[in-house]
């Protein structure tokens, strides 16, 4: 059961990281970085949260 949860977290985390990376290079994000000087909260949440979920998923698989 723990391995199934690990697979779900790993796949979900990787998907979130990919969506966050795509969002980071979008036109809206570029405009926000030009005015704010940083990524938006949505992009940061996708990148950091997805990365953490993927790491926890890998730990659960081992």
Q: What is the pTM of this model?
A: 0.85
**Per-residue confidence (pLDDT) for residue 27, from 0 to 100:** 86
Structure tokens at 36: 């704010």
- The single residue listed with the structure tokens 């926890």 is 56
Confidence (pLDDT) at 37: 82
- Residues of the chain with confidence (pLDDT) below 50: none
Helix, strand or coil, per DSSP, at residue 35: helix
The SS3 assignment for 53 reads helix
């Amino acid at each position: 059961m723990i391995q199934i949860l690990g697979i779900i977290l790993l796949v979900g985390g990787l998907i979130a990281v990919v969506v966050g990376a795509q969002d980071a290079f979008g036109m809206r994000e570029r405009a926000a970085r030009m005015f704010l000087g940083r990524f938006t909260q949505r992009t940061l949440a996708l990148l950091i949260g997805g990365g953490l979920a993927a790491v926890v998923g890998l730990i659960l698989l081992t």
